[in-house]
Amino acid sequence: MIEIAVAKGDGIGPEIMEAVLDIFKAAEAPLQYEFVEMGKWVFDKGFGNGMTPEAKTTIEKLGILFKGPMETPKGKGVKSINVTARKTWNTYANKRTFQTLHGVNTVFSKAGIPIDVTVVRENIEDTYGGIEHQLTEDVAISRRLITRPGSEQVIRYAFEIARQKKARRITCVHKANIMKITDGMFLNAFRRIAGEYPEIAADDIIVDDLCMKMVTRPETFDVVVLTNLQGDIVSDLCAGLVGGLGFAPSANIGDNICIFEAVHGTAPDIAGKNIANPTALLLSGIAMLQHLGLTATAAKIENALLYTLEQGIHTGDFGDKIIPALNTTDFAARIIANFGKQPNAGARTAAADQPVKIEVPVLKENQLIHSSEPATKTLAGVDFFIDSTLQPAAIADIAQKYSTDSLPLINLSNRGTQVWPGGSKFTVLVDSYTIRFEAPEGKTITQQTIIDLYTKLAGEFQITSVETLLELNGQKVYSLAQGQ
Ligand code: NAD
């Protein structure tokens, strides 16, 4: 028996979880469940991260969490329970598999175009750090955090999946033409790691181009790997290609703890009615069984599911309207009744179960993942963000007073566009400027230089944020303003 933690979730969570656990029971899956308290109702009881301390201890002991969807309380400034869980336990890769399911009609299935795409999405970083600040009345910023070791972890996982899947192709999706430093870091990590897997064809594509090609030629993609927010959007797009969120499973993979859940949410509009579609949670459960080495049990359940779908059996959210829809419980019962049946298309075969022993280490301190190649770091300048509604020339006149030979004023930008020196009167301004001071080529400054300048500028402007300009191994690693 493999022990796993189970959280039923909110909304339709308990209904679909019950249906899936019934199917597991009937399939004699060698699993033992520890039910843990997580979700909105736990948050309402006063646990700020949406889980009880006992739930946290159990999950950190067992290493596997099978969860239903959970609601994020609105308007209380709290972070999503789901995102917190993924980040706390460093489940750095989100894997979603999208395959044509016979019996689930889509434009592609009707046209005979097979889809089999695995999306590996970075799961912790990017704008999901949720690091946001409002700088002025009119301007808010979000920090988009991309790290080299974080990128390497998820990309290496994607290559391993591609190898296991015997993929034809692995594609890195990005927007490095615009986000040269953040997505550039992700793309460079991909190119470096691609060298370790010479047998897999590795290429890259800009995310907007991918979206267009994914809806016109989805069959040309195999494994795609991308950053968090772009991955979130692209994976929902892929869900649409194979029949919608009701068929989208997801595995959150970390080195020590993994979370398996459906992509969809708590569906509050249909909660408590026993009409939700349990397929996405069941597919997530099948992915979990495979992860645990229970491949034969997974194949038995998946074949019964595919057979059931091929028969046209459906819940209310999909399928042929002429055939009456089944409720959640009856849909699950039909899958159980179809154990042992083989679908016409996509039948799974698997050797006997070989249960994996999940061993979660007892950690004494936090792991710190750090780049293996230390760089020479030098301070090259500073950007001051200020709150001002003055015209650019008036701000420049004031800032010029503090410009020195060792740290001259370089430019002013507004919404990332250079507005001084030069600029256009047609550039529309908002109440937040960035003033850049940058040391001459080859010269560097100290933190004290920045502090001294800060003190002087603070006498003139409301400074809302400060960003240092860094050179790594002599390379500028900061963006230029549009037009600089
Ligand atoms: P949702 O996915 O819950 O619902 C969107 C639509 O899809 C609704 O019409 C719903 O009825 C339908 N739907 C979803 N799952 C279904 C299923 N299994 N069977 C039949 N129909 C289904 O998205 P939402 O309404 O934007 O979010 C509701 C709540 O869920 C929010 O609190 C959100 O934060 C949360 N959420 C949680 C997760 C998670 O736990 N991983 C993911 C997404 C959203």
Domain ranges of the chain: 1-91+254-373, 93-251, 377-476
Asked whether the domain spanning 377-476 has the same topology as the one spanning 93-251, the reply is no
Q: What is the pLDDT of residues 96-148, one digit of tens each?
A: 999 988 888 889 988 989 999 999 999 999 998 889 999 999 999 999 999 99
Chain length of the chain: 484
Average of per-residue pLDDT across 148-168: 96
Ligand 1, residues at Cβ distance < 6 Å = 12, 16, 69-72, 82, 245-246, 261, 264-270, 276-277, 280, 317
- Tell me, in angstroms, the distance from the centre of ligand 1 to residue 46's CA: 24
Distance CA(432)–CA(436), nearest Å, equals 13
Tokens of 109: 């299935």
Nearest partner of 66 among 38, 88, 98, 28, judged by Cα: 38
What stretches of 353-484 show up as alpha helix (H) in DSSP?
392-400, 447-458
- Tell me, in angstroms, the distance from the centre of ligand 1 to residue 170's CA: 30
Only one residue has tokens 């992700």, namely: 186
- Tell me, in angstroms, the distance from the centre of ligand 1 to residue 339's CA: 29
pLDDT at 68: 97
What stretches of 74-140 show up as alpha helix (H) in DSSP?
81-88, 107-110
Q: For 97, what's the count of Cα atoms within 13 Å in the CB-facing half-sphere?
A: 18
Q: Are 131 and 165 within 8 A, CB to CB?
A: no
Whether residue 277 has pLDDT greater than 70: yes
Tokens of 293: 């080495």
**In sequence order, which residues have a C-beta less than 8 Å from that of residue 329 and are 6 or more positions away?**
18, 19, 22, 274
Q: Does residue 278 have a cis peptide bond before it, meaning omega lies within 30 degrees of 0? A: no
Average of per-residue pLDDT across 216-224: 96
Distance CA(407)–CA(450), nearest Å, equals 9
Q: Other CB atoms closer than 10 Å to residue 143's CB: what's the count?
A: 11
Q: Are 233 and 246 within 8 A, CB to CB?
A: no
Please provide the CATH number assigned to the domain covering 377-476.
Answer: 3.30.70.1570
Q: Other CB atoms closer than 10 Å to residue 178's CB: what's the count?
A: 11
Whether residue 83 has pLDDT greater than 90: no
pLDDT at 456: 98
- The CATH superfamily assigned to 1-91+254-373 is Isopropylmalate Dehydrogenase (3.40.718.10)
Atom in ligand 1 nearest the alpha carbon of residue 280: 18
Which 3 state secondary structure label does DSSP give 51?
Answer: strand
**In sequence order, which residues have a C-beta less than 8 Å from that of residue 203 and are 6 or more positions away?**
169, 170, 171, 172
- Tell me, in angstroms, the distance from the centre of ligand 1 to residue 266's CA: 4
Q: Are 367 and 450 within 8 A, CB to CB?
A: no
Q: What is the pLDDT of residues 388-419, one digit of tens each?
A: 999 999 999 999 999 999 999 999 999 999 99
Nearest partner of 212 among 200, 203, 221, judged by Cα: 221
Whether residue 75 has pLDDT greater than 80: no
Whether residue 77 has pLDDT greater than 70: no
pLDDT at 79: 74
Distance CA(186)–CA(93), nearest Å, equals 14
Please provide the CATH number assigned to the domain covering 93-251.
Answer: 3.40.718.10
Atom in ligand 1 nearest the alpha carbon of residue 267: 3
Distance CA(135)–CA(19), nearest Å, equals 48
Higher-pLDDT residue of 42, 346? 42
Q: For 200, what's the count of Cα atoms within 13 Å in the CB-facing half-sphere?
A: 28
Nearest alpha carbon, ligand 1 atom 10: 267
Region of 63 on the Ramachandran plot (φ > 0 left; ψ -120 to 50 alpha; else beta): left
Whether residue 156 has pLDDT greater than 90: yes
* Angle value at C-alpha 476, between 433 and 93, nearest 5 degrees: 90
What's the pLDDT band for 2 if we cut at 50, 70, 90? very high
- Tell me, in angstroms, the distance from the centre of ligand 1 to residue 458's CA: 47
Average of per-residue pLDDT across 312-328: 90
